[in-house]
Every structure is written in structure tokens, then in C-alpha cells.
């Protein structure tokens, strides 16, 4: 009980001291919104960032060619055409590009059979999250022609199994001067017109599948917009600027002797550091909520519909900001370090994590940053319609980082 | 014999090769004001850090009110108060907020907290300005808040680390009076460190003299001064001549004579040899059994030996002279 009161006392003191640094608050709360607005305008509203992928067409038929040209017209895909599947597989495995779209040989024929066919998307397992986005883009780009193919198959199947069901006799047709093939083509076109109203059904339950290997169970709700990247990216990026403020205050407490005095009082290191860390974790949470709310109001940015998962992600991100920042703050030993290291670290981490420039394709290194997990977690909720189970991994990673960094901070903290 | 509130047994603190505190032992009796007098870097603050449970000693141990400081730190911390040498305050908070913060950390709450904060602020004479930010205070006012914060938990033993550094004379007097009243009226035992010998002489019942980590003398100020015997004479001569030194030392009213390290040479070990080599003035420090007689005999000797006297000082018998006599250095640089 006494420890809780001490934590509360330290928290109130910390907030009072930190409240003096007005410039920092401006930086943490308003700069991300300014950046989001400017970047949003520059990149264009609704334009999702491009994904760099390989494309392999092994199919010699018409469908293969159609799909290639459709994908080429897809502005969000940056394609590099490769001739063979094995080369694509190897390069993706090396992490050169995030995915490879493979149109297997015989697809044009396969779609006309009972079993149907499949377009394969080979993904880098390390970037499975982003692969969901590629899947969506392939779906969007290929949907029309796949539906055509399906209709065609339906008509052919019907003719091949029982032409008489249509009520035509070959001899009658001969008498009319038209051949079966012309009839077939005519009917196909007619039926396609009817079926086009059912396009949506076909997308939902396609006979031609697009397979993701290894599969991601995140269902794409809509293509992510630029704000799905910018909002969490800049929110987390600027939340980490709290690190500089924490480092500065703890440095002043150190040289001013306040730390020495506090630890001649009966208070433990853990209580003291919790009291110092929690205000910033809460401020980071508040900042994320504010930035997301304003972004949603101004830019029509959809917050998804998993409020619990969203709230937990806000809490986990806030605690991670607090934990990592208190660790850095505790290790800093000079004013020069206090002025340079935290902001440098905030920028480097953000740059590596992909928070600064929205991109689906990130170096594997990005996963070492808490930003990455926070951003991907929020993206999963806002753009991909994910829920609690979809962000469970993100929550675990973030909370692990928070707890570990805080524990190391307590361990390494020297008040004298 | 009164019980000891604090016992330091062979305390050692090393920072790598540097021995900041070297085998220091002393005891403070309940109700005593004990002074640690020594120049900057002598090891006073390091000693206080070890005694207050802030810094683990490299060797040795400390007992406060029968409790081992390292093993029973939490209990010890409840009964001590520390006013660090640095102004351990938050400049953007008010004096009252600062004192209140430390009070809350001791577990004080509600009415008891409010009353105690007012009480200690009144004690150091800072009630009027208590609601102003610390950064608007003079050095002396900050020191008084620093003292108030150390009193908030009713400590039985108070550590005051150079509490008058950077203080105007008025605040200085106020602090002296507060310290004396605390000791007289409430029986608080006090460990008071300083490098001002006047403070140690005025306030402390007993004084330990500390230099380069070692406690080199410990007694009441009066006894320490008496140990000088008949006083100390400093004689400036053109060179450090060993035959002159032994002749002076042999004079009947002289107890001992030695050449001081030349100005600027920090270490007394770098003693006579370096003084001899220089062409400048050498200072012969003469401990007299009786100052008047010694003075006459020394002047007589110089006259006979046709030695040129460059300067002559008869040092006041005080703790400064005690320190100089023990270390060959002055307390302040
Ligand atoms: N944290 C530390 N690391 C290394 N050396 C230190 C440290 N703290 C103090 N010292 C050294 O220990 C010696 C004693 O310092 P201190 O106890 O502060 O002296 P005083 O309080 O008497 O001025 C000095 O030489 C100082 O430089
Ligand atoms: Mg000191």
C-alpha cells in the first residue's frame, strides 16, 4: 500500500515537473498531426503505398496474359517480371521483395475444369503481415477476368455435358446457317451480362482461388489508405520523443542531487521508476488516442471495429514507449548524451521501423523496433478489419518489450 | 556513558584505484553535534552516502541506532534525515511542494502531512515564501528549504552535508540557529560536514578532521586546538636548508619544525626535496611549545646565523592551524 502511495506521489511530482516543458508537449501532440496532414496531401488521399513484388507467368493461355496486363495496370503494385518460379521463390526467401505472384502453367485450362485453378502468392514469412495487402491487390486487379473465366467455364460445361438442355439440335442450327461455336459465344456473352450482377458473390466464394503461401488469416476488408500507415507511424514516432524529456528530467535530478536525497528515503528503485515511467506511458496513450481521433475526423480515416483490441494496443504501445524511454533515460550520464541520444534514437528507430515513409516493403530489421509492432498492429485493426486474435502477437511483443526494458532499467539504475 | 546513535567501523569506499574513504571509524553519541572537517574531495560526502544507506561500502560497516545500515536499510532510512550538499530540490516546484513531496514519500498523509510541512517550514523561517518557486529563492533560502525537507520525518539523526555553501550571512546565521535549536530542544543528533573551520568550532561538540579519505584527528575543538601547544610560526626563508631546520627544531621552546610543500604542489609527500630544489621562498613551519619564547629564540637564531627572513607569520590557534599542522595544507584552496 505504501509503495502504491509512493508511486502515486512520484507520478504527481513528475507530471508537475514535466508540465513546464511546453515545447515538448507541442512536439509530442501536434507535430505528428502536422506531418500526417502534409504527408497525406503529398502522397494523395486514398493512395496506398506500392508493394514491390515479383510476377511469374507460367501459363501460356489467354487468362495468364490477361492477368499479367491487369496486374500491370494496378498502380499499387511495383512489378518485376521473372521467368521462373524457382528464381522468384529464392529471391523472396532472401527478402529481396516481399512476395511473388505466380500464375501456374495450365491455369487457363484449369479454370475450365471442375477443380478450378489457383494463382499462388509466395510470401516472405517475415513479412506475412504486409503480404495480406498484396493478396488484396491481386484480388482486386484480377477479379473481373476471373469472373469472366468462371462464366465461360460454366457455359462450356453446360454445352459439353448436355447441349440439348438449351433446346438446340445440331441439325436445326445447321439449317439456320449458324454453327454451335457461334451460339456458344453468343450465349457466353449474354450470360456474362447476367452474371455481372453477381460479381460480388463470385469474389466472396471464388472458384478460382488466390492462394497465399503460407496463408495469412487476416481477411482484407479494404485496401489500406495512406493514413493507415501515417497515423500510427507518426503517432508512435513522436510519442518516443518523450524519451528526451524523461532523460533531461532524470539527468537534472541526478546532478541536482534530488536522486541522492530520494534514495536516502525509504523508497525502492522499482517504485520510484514506476512512478517516473507511468506518467509518460499514460501521456503516450493519450497522444495516440488524440492523434487517431483527429486523423479520423480530418481525413476520414477508418478506426476499424475492434475497440477492445484497439484499446489494448494503445495501452501496450504506451507502456512500451514508457519502458524503452525510462531505460534510455536511466542510462544517460551526461548532458550531451541527454540532448542527443534520445532524439537520435527516436529518429533512427522510426526510420528503421518504416514509421517515417509508408512502405509495405520493410527490411527484416524493422521487426526489431517496437514501432513496427505497434504500427502493424494498428494497421491490422484499421485497414484489415482484424480483431483481438489478429493482434495477439503484436500485443505480446509490445508488452514483452515494455516489461523487459523496464526490468533492465530498474536493474541498471544507479541513483548516485 | 551515553549510547552511540551512529558507529562507523573501518569504512572504506573505493572508486577503481581511487580510495575515496580509507578506513574511517568514529562514533556519534545520542544528542551530539559531530563535525567532519576537511577540504573538498576529502571524502565527507562519500562517508555520508555510506552512512545513509545510499552507497554500499567497499569494506567496513555502519550501525545506526543499533541497526546495520546495509542489512536494515529501510528501517535506518525512517530515522535519519539527509540534507545533501547539492540543492536536492525541484526548482520549478514551490518550497512547500518540495517539502510536501519528501513528506509523502515518508508515508505522511492528510492532516499530519500538512501540519508537519508547515511546522518545518516555520522552523527554518520560510513560511512566508513557501508558495514561491524554489528557482526564485536566494541561495540561502534554498539551503533553508533543503534543511526543512530533511526534517520532515522527525529524524533522530540528521546528516547535514556542507549546509552553508553559497549562503548569505543572514541565512547562514539562521541555519546555525536552527541546527543548535534542533539539537538543544529536540535532542536531534547531527553529523555536520564542512570545510569552514569556524563552523566546526562554533557548532560541533566534537570534530573529526578528514583528509584524502582518512580521519586524521578526532576530538573536541578545544582539545584539537590545545594539541597545537604553544602555537605555530611560519617562517619564510630564501631556501630549504636541512641544517637550518634541525637547528630550529633543536631550540628549547620549539617542539618540531618542518618545511611546507611549496605552493601548488598538492601532495605533502612531495615534501622537502621538491622544496629544496626550487629557487623560490621556502616556508619553515615551527610548532612552538610556547609561542612568545619560540618567536624570540627563532629570531635570535636567524640573526646569529645571518639568515634573511622573507616573511613571518604567527598562526592563530584554531582548527585551520590544526589542519595545516596535520597536513601541511590549507583547508581552502
Ligand atoms: N562516483 C564517483 N566516482 C569516482 N570518484 C568519486 C565519485 N564520488 C566521489 N569521488 C571521488 O572521491 C573523493 C571524495 O569525494 P567526496 O566524498 O565528494 O569529497 P568531499 O565531500 O569531502 O568534498 C574525491 O576525490 C572524488 O573525486
Ligand atoms: Mg562533499
Sketch the domain layout of chain A as residue ranges: 3-43+224-412, 51-204
B50 CA: distance to closest CA in chain A (Å): 10
Question: Which is it for strands A51-57 and A99-103: parallel, antiparallel or unpaired?
Answer: parallel
Give the best residue of B81, B90, B162 to mutate against chain A (max A CB count within 10 A). B90
The grid coordinates of residue A413 equal: 539504475
Name the nearest CA neighbour of B104 among B92, B115, B113: B113
Decide if B324 is inside a domain: no
Q: Model confidence at B276, in pLDDT bands (50, 70, 90)?
A: very low
What is the reported pTM? Answer: 0.72
Q: From CA A33, how far away is CA A28, in angstroms rounded?
A: 10
Measured between beta carbons, which residues in chain A are less than 8 angstroms from residue B153? 265
Residues B20 and B157 in one domain: yes
Residues B212 and B248 in one domain: no
Q: What is the pLDDT of residues B14-47, one digit of tens each?
A: 999 999 999 999 999 999 999 999 999 999 999 9
Q: Is B216 exposed, middle or buried (0-12, 13-18, 19+ CB in 10 A)?
A: middle
Decide if B81 is inside a domain: yes
Q: Say what the pLDDT of residue A217 is.
A: 38
Residues B199 and B272 in one domain: no
Residues B220 and B233 in one domain: no
Q: What is the length of chain B?
A: 333
Name the nearest CA neighbour of B225 among B128, B317, B141: B317
The DSSP symbol for A300 reads -
Average pLDDT value for chain A: 80
Q: Which residues pair with A78 in a beta bridge?
A: A52
Element spanning A344, H or E:
helix A335-353
* Boundaries of domain holding B102: 4-225
Find where cell 522499482 sits.
Answer: A270
Strand positions, DSSP E, chain B: 4-15, 18-29, 33-37, 59-64, 67-68, 80-83, 157-161, 189-194, 206-211, 214-219, 232-237, 254-259, 282-288, 311-315
First to last CA, chain B: 39
Decide if B21 is inside a domain: yes
Measured between beta carbons, which residues in chain A are less than 8 angstroms from residue B21? none
Residues B74 and B204 in one domain: yes
Would you say residue A75 has pLDDT above 90?
A: no
Compute φ and ψ for A103, nearest 5 degrees: -95, 105
Q: From CA B69, how far away is CA B75, in angstroms rounded?
A: 9
Question: Which has the minimum average pLDDT: A268-272, B52-56, B89-93, B263-267?
Answer: B263-267
Q: From CA A115, how far away is CA A56, in angstroms rounded?
A: 22
The grid coordinates of residue A58 equal: 507460367
Decide if B321 is inside a domain: no
Q: Compute, in angstroms, the gap from residue A262 CA to the centroid of ligand 2.
A: 17
Q: Say what the pLDDT of residue A155 is.
A: 63
Residues B256 and B235 in one domain: yes
Element spanning A228, H or E:
helix A226-239
Q: Is B58 on the interface with A (CB under 8 A)?
A: no
Q: Model confidence at A200, in pLDDT bands (50, 70, 90)?
A: very low
User: Sheet of B18-29: strands edge to edge?
Assistant: B18-29, B4-15, B59-64, B67-68
Q: Say what the pLDDT of residue A33 is.
A: 87
Is the N-terminal amide bond of A397 cis, ω within 30° of 0? no
Q: From CA A59, how far away is CA A343, in angstroms rounded?
A: 52
Question: Ligand 1: which of B12, B43, B267 to mutate, judged by most atoms within 8 Å of the beta carbon?
Answer: B43
Q: Which ligand is nearest to the CA of A414?
A: 1
Taking CB atoms within 8 Å and a gap of at least 24, the contacts of A190-196 are A191/A151, A191/A154, A191/A155, A192/A148, A192/A151, A195/A147, A195/A151, A196/A147
Q: What is the pLDDT of residues B109-151, one digit of tens each?
A: 999 999 999 999 999 999 999 999 999 999 999 999 999 999 9
Q: How many helices (H) and strands (E) does chain A have?
A: 18, 5
Residues B132 and B258 in one domain: no
Would you say residue A301 has pLDDT above 50?
A: yes
Q: Provide the sign of the torsion angle of the four alpha carbons A346, A349, A352, A355, taken in this order.
A: negative
Atom of ligand 1 nearest to the CA of B44: 22
Q: Model confidence at A178, in pLDDT bands (50, 70, 90)?
A: low
Q: Compute, in angstroms, the gap from residue B162 CA to the centroid of ligand 2.
A: 7
Q: From CA A405, how far away is CA A397, in angstroms rounded?
A: 12
Q: From CA A116, how far away is CA A107, in angstroms rounded?
A: 8
Q: From CA A169, how far away is CA A277, in angstroms rounded?
A: 84
Residue B236 contacts residue B309 (beta carbons within 8 Å)? yes
**Final residue of a domain: which of B225, B253, B283?**
B225
User: Sheet of A118-123: strands edge to edge?
Assistant: A77-82, A51-57, A99-103, A118-123, A209-213
CB under 5 Å of ion ligand 2: residues: B 44-45, 85
Question: Ligand 1: which of B41, B49, B84 to mutate, judged by most atoms within 8 Å of the beta carbon?
Answer: B41
Find where cell 548524451 sits.
Answer: A337
Q: How many CB atoms lie within 10 A of CB A227?
A: 27
Q: From CA B2, how far away is CA B66, in angstroms rounded?
A: 14
Name the nearest CA neighbour of A266 among B284, B75, B241, B285: B75
The DSSP symbol for B68 reads E
Q: ipTM of this predicted complex?
A: 0.81
Measured between beta carbons, which residues in chain A are less than 8 angstroms from residue B44? none
Residues B189 and B288 in one domain: no
One DSSP character per residue, A359-374 reads -S---GGGGGSHHHHH
Element spanning B166, H or E:
none
Decide if B322 is inside a domain: no
Q: Compute, in angstroms, the gap from residue B50 CA to the centroid of ligand 1.
A: 12
Element spanning B140, H or E:
helix B139-151
In a 3-state reduction of DSSP, which class is residue A53?
Answer: strand
Q: Model confidence at A360, in pLDDT bands (50, 70, 90)?
A: low
Q: Model confidence at A188, in pLDDT bands (50, 70, 90)?
A: low
In a 3-state reduction of DSSP, which class is residue A311?
Answer: helix
DSSP helix, strand, coil percent of chain B (3-state; round to 5): 40, 25, 35
Q: What is the pLDDT of residues A34-57, one digit of tens each?
A: 888 887 776 655 445 567 788 898
Compute φ and ψ for A212, nearest 5 degrees: -105, 130
Question: Ligand 1: which of B14, B24, B46 to mutate, judged by most atoms within 8 Å of the beta carbon?
Answer: B46
Residues B132 and B211 in one domain: yes
* CATH assignment, A51-204: 3.40.1710
Q: From CA B205, how far away is CA B26, in angstroms rounded?
A: 14
Residue B325 contacts residue B266 (beta carbons within 8 Å)? no
Q: Is A279 exposed, middle or buried (0-12, 13-18, 19+ CB in 10 A)?
A: buried
Percentage of chain B lying above the pLDDT 90 cut? 66
Residues B82 and B213 in one domain: yes
CB-based contacts of A221: which residues, under 8 Å, 6+ apart? A383, A384, A385
Q: How many CB atoms lie within 10 A of CB B64?
A: 26
Would you say residue A151 has pLDDT above 70?
A: no
Higher pLDDT, A213 or A66: A66
Q: Which residues pair with B67 in a beta bridge?
A: B64
Contact A5/B149, CB-based, under 8 Å?
no
Q: Say what the pLDDT of residue A80 is.
A: 86
The DSSP symbol for A266 reads S
| Residues within a 6 A CB radius of ligand 1 | B 15, 18, 20, 38, 40-46
Q: From CA B127, how far away is CA A207, in angstroms rounded?
A: 84
Q: Say what the pLDDT of residue B288 is.
A: 87
Residues B217 and B289 in one domain: no
Residues B153 and B219 in one domain: yes
One DSSP character per residue, B235-274 reads EEESS--HHHHHHHHTSTTEEEEEEPPPTT---TTS-HHH
Q: How many domains does chain B have?
A: 2
Q: From CA A299, how far away is CA A288, in angstroms rounded?
A: 16
The grid coordinates of residue B148 equal: 526543512
Amino acid at each position: 500500500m505504501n509503495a502504491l502511495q509512493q508511486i502515486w506521489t512520484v507520478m504527481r511530482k513528475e507530471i508537475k515537473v514535466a508540465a513546464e516543458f511546453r515545447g515538448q508537449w507541442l512536439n509530442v501532440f501536434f507535430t505528428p498531426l502536422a506531418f500526417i496532414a502534409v504527408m497525406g496531401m503529398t502522397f494523395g488521399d486514398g493512395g496506398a503505398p506500392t508493394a514491390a513484388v515479383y510476377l511469374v507467368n507460367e501459363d501460356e493461355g489467354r487468362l495468364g496474359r490477361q492477368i499479367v496486363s491487369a496486374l500491370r495496370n494496378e498502380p499499387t503494385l511495383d512489378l518485376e517480371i521473372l521467368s521462373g518460379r524457382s528464381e522468384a521463390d529464392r529471391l523472396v526467401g532472401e527478402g529481396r521483395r516481399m512476395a511473388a505472384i505466380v500464375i501456374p502453367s495450365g491455369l487457363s485450362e484449369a479454370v475450365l475444369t471442375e477443380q478450378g485453378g489457383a494463382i499462388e502468392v509466395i510470401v516472405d514469412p517475415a513479412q506475412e503481415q504486409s503480404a495480406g495487402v498484396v493478396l488484396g491487390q491481386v484480388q482486386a486487379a484480377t477479379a473481373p477476368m476471373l469472373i469472366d473465366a468462371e462464366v465461360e467455364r460454366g457455359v462450356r460445361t453446360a454445352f459439353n455435358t448436355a447441349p440439348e438442355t438449351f433446346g438446340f439440335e445440331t441439325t436445326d442450327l445447321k439449317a439456320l446457317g449458324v454453327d454451335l461455336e457461334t451460339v456458344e459465344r453468343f450465349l457466353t456473352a449474354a450470360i456474362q451480362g447476367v452474371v455481372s450482377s453477381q460479381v460480388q458473390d463470385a469474389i466472396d466464394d471464388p472458384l478460382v482461388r488466390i492462394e497465399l503461401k503460407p496463408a495469412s488469416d487476416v481477411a482484407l476488408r479494404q485496401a489500406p489508405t495512406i493514413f493507415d500507415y501515417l497515423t500510427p507511424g507518426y503517432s508512435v514516432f513522436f510519442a518516443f520523443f518523450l524519451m528526451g524529456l524523461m532523460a533531461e528530467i532524470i539527468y537534472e535530478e541526478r546532478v541536482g542531487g534530488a536522486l541522492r536525497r530520494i534514495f536516502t528515503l525509504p523508497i525502492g528503485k522499482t517504485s520510484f521508476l514506476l512512478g517516473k515511467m507511468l506518467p509518460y506511458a499514460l501521456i503516450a496513450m493519450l497522444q495516440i488516442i488524440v492523434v487517431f481521433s483527429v486523423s479520423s475526423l480530418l481525413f476520414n480515416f477508418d478506426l476499424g471495429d475492434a475497440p477492445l483490441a484497439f484499446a489494448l494496443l494503445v495501452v501496450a504501445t504506451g507502456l512500451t514507449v514508457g519502458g524503452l524511454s525510462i531505460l534510455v533515460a536511466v542510462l544517460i550520464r551526461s548532458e550531451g548524451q541527454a540532448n542527443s541520444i534520445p532524439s537520435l534514437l527516436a529518429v533512427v528507430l522510426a526510420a528503421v521501423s518504416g514509421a517515417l515513409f509508408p512502405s509495405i516493403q520493410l527490411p527484416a530489421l524493422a521487426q526489431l523496433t517496437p514501432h513496427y509492432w505497434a504500427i502493424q498492429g494498428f494497421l491490422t485493426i484499421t485497414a484489415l478489419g482484424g480483431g483481438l486474435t489478429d493482434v495477439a502477437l503484436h500485443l505480446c511483443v509490445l508488452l514483452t518489450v515494455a516489461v523487459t526494458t523496464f526490468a533492465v532499467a530498474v536493474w541498471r539504475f544507479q541513483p548516485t | 556513558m551515553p549510547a552511540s546513535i551512529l558507529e562507523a567501523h573501518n569504512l572504506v569506499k573505493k572508486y577503481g584505484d581511487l580510495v575515496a574513504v580509507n578506513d574511517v571509524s568514529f562514533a556519534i553519541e545520542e544528542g551530539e553535534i559531530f563535525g567532519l572537517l576537511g577540504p573538498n574531495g576529502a571524502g565527507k560526502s562519500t562517508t555520508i552516502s555510506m552512512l545513509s544507506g545510499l552507497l554500499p561500502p567497499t569494506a567496513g560497516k555502519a550501525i545506526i541506532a543499533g541497526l546495520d545500515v546495509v542489512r536494515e536499510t529501510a528501517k535506518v532510512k525512517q530515522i535519519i534525515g539527509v540534507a545533501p550538499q547539492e540543492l536536492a530540490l525541484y526548482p520549478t516546484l514551490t518550497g512547500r511542494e518540495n517539502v510536501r513531496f519528501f513528506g509523502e514519500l515518508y508515508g505522511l498523509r492528510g492532516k499530519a502531512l500538512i501540519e508537519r510541512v508547515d511546522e518545518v517550514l516555520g522552523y527554518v523561517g520560510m513560511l512566508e515564501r513557501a508558495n514561491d518557486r524554489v528557482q526564485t529563492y536566494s541561495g540561502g533560502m534554498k539551503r533553508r528549504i533543503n534543511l526543512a525537507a530533511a526534517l520532515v520525518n522527525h529524524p533522530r539523526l540528521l546528516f547535514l552535508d556542507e549546509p552553508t555553501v553559497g549562503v548569505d550571512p543572514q541565512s547562514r546565521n539562521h541555519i546555525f540557529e536552527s541546527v543548535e535549536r534542533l539539537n538543544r530542544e529536540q535532542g536531534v543528533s547531527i553529523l555536520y560536514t564542512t570545510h569552514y573551520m569556524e563552523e566546526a568550532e562554533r557548532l560541533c561538540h566534537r570534530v573529526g578532521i578528514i583528509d584524502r579519505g582518512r580521519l586524521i584527528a578526532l576530538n573536541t575543538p578545544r582539545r584539537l586546538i590545545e594539541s597545537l601547544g604553544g602555537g605555530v610560526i611560519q617562517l619564510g626563508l630564501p631556501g630549504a636548508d636541512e641544517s637550518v631546520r634541525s637547528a630550529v627544531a633543536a631550540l628549547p621552546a620549539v617542539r618540531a619544525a618542518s618545511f611546507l610543500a611549496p605552493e601548488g604542489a598538492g601532495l605533502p609527500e612531495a615534501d622537502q626535496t621538491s622544496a629544496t630544489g626550487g629557487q623560490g621562498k621556502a616556508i619553515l613551519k615551527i610548532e612552538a611549545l610556547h609561542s612568545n619564547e619560540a618567536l624570540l629564540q627563532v629570531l635570535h637564531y636567524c640573526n646569529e646565523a645571518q639568515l634573511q627572513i622573507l616573511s613571518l607569520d604567527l598562526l592563530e590557534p584554531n582548527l585551520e592551524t590544526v589542519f595545516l599542522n596535520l597536513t601541511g595544507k590549507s583547508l581552502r584552496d
